[in-house]
Structure 1
Amino acid sequence: MIDAIIPKLPMRNKAITKAYYLKNLGFVEFGRTDVDYYLMLERNKLQLHFFEFKDLNPFENYGQVYLRTTAIEKLYQALLHKNVPIHPNGKLESKPWGQKEFSLLDPDHNLLTFGQPI
């Protein structure tokens, strides 16, 4: 039985990645936190995992995650209030595929797209 999908994204520096997700996106640590090369984070029972990739060139990283929300306007405004940079091409807007979306790039340029059905 499959009951969850957990994306695993590359990170160059665990402390920087952890700080970004905790401070900006409201995640908390999950599981063992004493492993230097792996990070597990959770928000609302949804998890993201990160593996160390010190040689990652962030400008060649194609890691992407789509996160669904039920309060996209509120989330977007909260991030703007915290001065979290929104992707230059990812401002909040309605898309032709029936989603309202916006996007962020984390410190390693993993693309985080947040969406809600229109």
Structure 2
Amino acid sequence: MPPPPHLAYMKPIPILPSSNIDKTIDFYTLLGFKVGGKHDGFVSLWVGDKSCVNLYYREGTDLGKGECIILSEVGQARILFEHLQKHHPPLHQLVYAPGGGEKCEAKPWGFEQFSLLDPDGNKITFASHLTDDENESEVQAPAVPDV
């Protein structure tokens, strides 16, 4: 299998547990973070140009497996997805995350993405912005992640 093409990764976006979303928001706003989006039991917090630091929090005490979003430049998630589809050995099939892995697709929050499960069952989402809008100041939060 040839190595994947060089991808211009931007940053990982961890999804972390929170015992109380409102207290999490209070703490991070004291540090200068802004709320990018808040849904039932989920919040996106960001700071810096184009959300150069972005943290997602999900409420709950027994969250089990972890998740991570690896954000790259426009079009890069699709390049990786197509590379994996073309070159991944059939004897070691990738495990695509339910509801988010079989295809690389545009999402309403402005990402094109797909998700895989790592060997420990952690969900790894590869995402790219849909546009390269330099006026964009924050990444909108996706829908509440599956628990």
TM-score range, shorter chain: 0.3 to 0.5
TM-score (norm 2): 0.38
Which is higher, the Rg of structure 1 or of structure 2? 2
TM-score (norm 1): 0.46
